[in-house]
Amino acid sequence: HVYNGLLTYHVYSDCLKSQVNNSSPKFYVNNGCLKFHVYNGCLKFHVYNGCIKFHAYNKYLKFHVCNGCLNFHVNNIRCYRVTNSVIRQKHIPPLR
C-alpha cells in the first residue's frame, strides 16, 4: 500500500509481493532479479516482521530473492542482506 509515497513490500520464500494502490501483483524469482526504477539518488528502508518499507529516488535498485532472503544490490556497489529475523534501518547516500 502507498502512504505518503511509501511502498510496502512483503517478502515470501519464493516471491516478492508488492501492494500498490490496492493491486497485488506477485513477482516470482528463479535465478533472476527484479529491477525497480528509483528516483533521485536516495534510498531509505525499514525492515521488521518480514516487511520492507522504502522510498527510493533515481538509479536502478535490483532485488534478488533467494532462500527466503531479500538481497539489495544498488548499482552493483552496495549490497544488503535482509532476513525476517533482522531489523535494520539503512540510509544509502546519493548515488553517482
pLDDT of 92: 38
What is the C-alpha to C-alpha distance for residues 31 and 52, in angstroms, rounded to an integer?
Answer: 21
Q: Note whether residue 53 is domain-resident.
A: yes
Instruction: Tell the burial category of 56 from Cβ atoms under 10 Å away from its Cβ (0-12, 13-18, 19+).
Output: buried
Q: Note whether residue 51 is domain-resident.
A: yes
- The whole-chain average pLDDT of the chain stands at 41
Q: Note whether residue 80 is domain-resident.
A: yes
Which residue range(s) make up the domain with 34?
2-91
Q: Note whether residue 96 is domain-resident.
A: no
Kindly report, residue by residue over 12-58, the tens digit of the pLDDT: 433 344 433 333 333 333 334 444 444 444 444 444 444 444 444 44
Looking at this protein, which amino acid is placed at residue 7?
A: L
What is the C-alpha to C-alpha distance for residues 75 and 87, in angstroms, rounded to an integer?
Answer: 23
Looking at this protein, which amino acid is placed at residue 77?
A: I
Q: Note whether residue 81 is domain-resident.
A: yes
pLDDT at 62 over 50: yes
Q: Note whether residue 31 is domain-resident.
A: yes
Confidence of residue 60 (pLDDT cuts 50, 70, 90): very low
Q: Note whether residue 37 is domain-resident.
A: yes
- Give the total number of structural domains in the chain: 1
